[in-house]
C-alpha cells in the first residue's frame, strides 16, 4: 500500500505543476519530499509534499515547525514577502492521539509573513482532507476517485520522477542560457576607455582641476545652454580623482558583466549610452554644478537589471534581485545625504537605463509595440529634461555670471557692468561674485573708487574670493593707502599661500 501513497503524492505534484503552473523549488527523491511555488499578485503560494507519517501528535507538530523554519532558511528561493504555505503530508496512517487541532492555520511574521495550512492525507481521512484543501485553494484532483493498480502506480512514479528530473535540468539550462547570452567584451573596452581618458586628463593638468575638466568636456550648464550638447556624452567618460574612477570602474566591471551576459554586447552599448545621456540631461536640468563621471550610465545598468526582473521575476529574485534592490536603495539614499553627489544623474540614469532596456528588450523576446512605446517615452523624457533645463538655466543668475565672464574676457566692460548691476539688484546667492566681476570691470575702465566700493562689499560677504583682497591691495596701493594695501595683500596670501602672484605682490608692498 506504500506505493499507492507514493502515487498520490506524485499525482498531486503532477496536478500542481501541469495544471496550476507551480514551479519546483526543491526535490528530495530519497525521502519523497517536494517543495513547489507559484508567485501571483506579490504572494508566494508554497506547497510542501511529504511522504511521511507520524505516530504521535508531538512528532507531527515538530515537523510542522521545522517546515516553517525552512521557509526562512530557503527565503532566497521563495519569491514573495508574503507566503501562503500548504504543508501536505501523505501517509497510510494518522497519529494515534488527538491531532486535528493542528489543522488550524499558523501565522508567523519573521523574515517573511507566512501563514501555514496543514493537511494530513492519511487513508482514513483522505477525502475529508481533500475537500478541506479544495475549499481553501479551489484546486481539483479528480484522479483521487480512480486509484490504479500497484503495478501501474509504480510505472507512473518512476516516469514522473524522471520527468521532474528533466524539468529541473531544463530549468537550470534555461537559466544558464539567460545568463550567458553575451560575452563581456564591451565592458572591458569601456573600462579601458575611461581609464585612458582619466590618465590623459590627470597628466595634462589634473582631474581635480574644474577648469581643466570643463576644457575636456565636463558637464557645464552655461556652455550647454550655448549649444555644446556634446558635453552630455563627453562628461560620461571623465572622472574627478582616483577614488571616483576606481569606484565607478569597479561597479562597471560587475554590472557590465551581468548586463552584457544577459543582453549581449550591442544591447549593452545602447543601454549604456542612453542611460548616460538620460543621466546627463537630468543633471543639466536639476543641478548647476560642474559634473563628470560614468555614474549615470552605471545606474542605467542597474535599471537594465531591474527591467530584466520584470520579465523573469522569480529568477531575478532568486538570484541577484534582493541584493540589487538593496544596493540601489542604499546608493539613492546616500546620494540624497551627501551633497557632493549628483543624485539627479543617478536617478536619470536609472530611469533611462530601465527604459533603454525596454527599448532593446531581452534577446529572442521581441515585443515591437512595447519597444516602440518605450522609445517614445524616452524621447518625451529627454525632451522634457532639455526644455526644463533650458528654461531654468538660460535666464539663471549662474548663466548670467558665465556671460559676464565671457564679456570680461573679450573686454566688453560696459556690457559686463550693465549685466552685473542688474544681477546685484536681485541680491541673490551669487552677489559676491557679481560684485567682484563688476569691480574688476571698473578697474579696467579706470573707475578705481567704484571698484573699491564693490570689492569692499564683496569681502564683507565672503572670504572665498582671494582675488578680491588682491585687487583691493593693488587699488589701495595705487591711491597711496599703504596700510590698507598691506592688510589686503596679507589676507590674500593667508587665503592662498601658494599663489606666486600674490606672494610677489606681497613682497613688493611689504618691502616698500
Annotated catalytic residues are: 295, 346
Cβ contact 389:221 at 8 Å: yes
- Angstrom distances, CA of residue 2 to CA of 72, 123, 189, 317: 31, 11, 62, 38
The partner residues of 87 in beta bridges, in order of sequence, read 48, 118
> ∠ CA 402-283-395 to the nearest 5 degrees?
35
413-426 and 397-409 helices cross at what angle (nearest 10)? 160
Strand pairing report for 33-40 and 23-28: antiparallel
CA 399 to chain centre: 31
Query: In residues, how long is the chain?
Result: 512
Task: Output b/e per residue, 314-335; b: 16+ Cβ within 10 A.
Answer: bbbbbbbbeebbeebeebbeeb
Which three cell numbers, joined as nine digits, stand for 29?
527523491
Cβ atoms < 10 Å from Cβ of 75: 17
Cβ atoms < 10 Å from Cβ of 495: 17
The dihedral built from the CA positions of residue 346, 351, 354 and 358, taken in this order, carries a sign that is negative
Cβ contact 74:111 at 8 Å: no
What span, in angstroms and rounded, lies between the C-alpha atoms of 135 and 140? 10
Cβ contact 25:49 at 8 Å: no
What span, in angstroms and rounded, lies between the C-alpha atoms of 298 and 339? 19
Count Cα neighbours of 27 within 13 Å in the Cβ-side half-sphere: 16
Cβ atoms < 10 Å from Cβ of 271: 28
Cβ atoms < 10 Å from Cβ of 512: 9
Please, which residues have CB within 8 angstroms of residue 327's CB and are 6 or more apart in sequence? 302
Q: What is the DSSP string of 454-470?
A: HHHHHHHH-SS-HHHHH
What span, in angstroms and rounded, lies between the C-alpha atoms of 435 and 476? 17
Nearest to 289 by CA among 245, 237, 235: 235
Residue with cell 548663466: 399
Please, which residues have CB within 8 angstroms of residue 219's CB and are 6 or more apart in sequence? 231, 232, 235, 280, 283, 284, 290, 291, 292
What span, in angstroms and rounded, lies between the C-alpha atoms of 498 and 297? 38
Cβ atoms < 10 Å from Cβ of 350: 26
Amino acid at each position: 500500500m506504500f506505493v499507492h501513497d507514493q502515487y498520490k503524492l506524485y499525482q498531486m505534484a503532477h496536478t500542481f505543476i501541469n495544471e496550476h503552473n507551480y514551479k519546483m523549488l526543491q526535490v528530495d527523491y530519497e525521502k519523497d519530499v517536494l517543495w513547489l511555488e507559484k508567485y501571483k499578485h506579490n504572494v508566494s503560494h508554497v506547497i510542501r509534499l511529504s511522504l511521511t507519517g507520524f505516530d504521535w501528535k508531538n512528532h507531527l507538530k515538530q515537523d510542522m515547525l521545522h517546515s516553517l523554519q525552512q521557509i526562512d532558511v530557503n527565503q532566497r528561493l521563495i519569491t514573495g514577502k508574503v507566503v501562503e504555505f500548504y504543508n501536505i503530508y501523505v501517509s497510510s496512517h494518522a497519529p494515534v492521539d488527538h491531532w486535528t487541532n493542528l489543522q488550524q492555520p499558523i501565522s508567523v511574521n519573521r523574515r517573511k509573513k507566512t501563514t501555514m495550512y496543514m493537511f494530513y492525507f492519511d487513508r482514513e481521512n483522505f477525502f475529508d482532507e481533500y475537500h478541506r484543501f479544495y475549499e481553501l485553494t479551489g484546486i481539483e484532483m479528480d484522479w483521487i476517485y480512480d486509484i490504479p493498480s500497484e503495478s501501474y502506480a509504480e510505472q507512473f512514479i518512476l516516469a514522473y520522477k524522471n520527468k521532474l528530473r528533466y524539468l529541473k535540468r531544463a530549468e537550470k539550462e534555461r537559466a544558464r542560457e539567460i545568463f550567458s547570452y553575451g560575452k563581456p567584451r564591451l565592458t572591458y573596452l569601456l573600462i579601458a576607455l575611461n581609464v585612458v581618458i582619466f590618465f590623459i586628463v590627470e597628466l595634462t593638468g589634473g582631474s581635480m582641476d574644474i577648469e581643466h575638466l570643463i576644457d575636456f568636456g565636463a558637464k557645464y550648464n552655461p556652455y550647454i545652454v550655448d549649444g555644446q550638447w556634446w558635453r552630455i556624452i563627453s562628461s560620461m567618460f571623465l572622472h574627478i580623482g582616483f577614488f571616483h574612477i576606481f569606484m565607478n570602474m569597479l561597479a562597471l566591471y560587475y554590472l557590465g558583466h551581468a548586463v552584457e551576459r544577459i543582453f549581449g554586447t550591442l544591447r549593452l552599448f545602447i543601454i549604456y549610452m542612453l542611460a548616460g545621456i538620460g543621466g546627463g540631461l537630468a543633471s543639466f536640468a536639476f543641478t548647476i554644478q560642474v559634473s563628470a563621471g560614468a555614474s549615470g550610465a552605471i545606474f542605467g545598468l542597474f535599471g537594465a537589471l531591474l527591467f530584466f526582473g520584470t520579465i523573469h521575476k522569480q529568477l531575478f529574485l532568486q538570484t541577484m534581485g534582493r541584493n540589487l534592490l538593496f544596493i540601489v536603495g542604499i546608493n539613492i539614499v546616500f546620494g540624497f545625504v551627501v551633497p557632493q553627489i549628483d543624485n539627479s544623474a543617478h536617478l536619470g540614469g536609472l530611469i533611462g537605463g530601465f527604459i533603454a532596456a525596454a527599448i532593446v528588450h531581452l534577446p529572442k523576446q521581441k515585443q515591437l509595440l512595447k519597444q516602440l512605446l518605450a522609445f517614445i517615452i524616452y524621447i518625451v523624457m529627454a525632451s522634457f529634461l532639455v526644455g526644463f533645463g533650458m528654461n531654468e538655466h538660460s535666464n539663471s543668475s549662474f548663466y548670467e555670471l558665465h556671460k559676464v565672464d565671457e564679456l570680461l574676457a573679450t573686454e566688453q566692460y560696459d556690457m559686463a557692468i550693465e549685466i552685473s548691476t542688474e544681477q546685484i539688484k536681485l541680491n541673490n546667492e551669487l552677489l559676491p561674485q557679481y560684485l567682484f566681476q563688476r569691480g574688476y570691470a571698473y578697474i579696467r575702465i579706470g573707475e578705481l573708487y567704484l571698484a573699491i566700493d564693490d570689492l569692499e562689499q564683496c569681502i564683507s560677504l565672503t572670504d572665498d574670493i582671494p582675488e578680491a583682497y588682491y585687487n583691493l591691495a593693488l587699488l589701495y596701493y595705487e591711491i597711496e593707502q599703504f596700510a590698507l594695501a598691506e592688510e589686503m595683500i596679507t589676507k590674500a596670501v593667508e587665503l592662498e599661500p601658494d599663489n606666486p602672484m600674490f606672494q610677489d605682490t606681497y613682497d613688493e608692498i611689504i618691502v616698500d
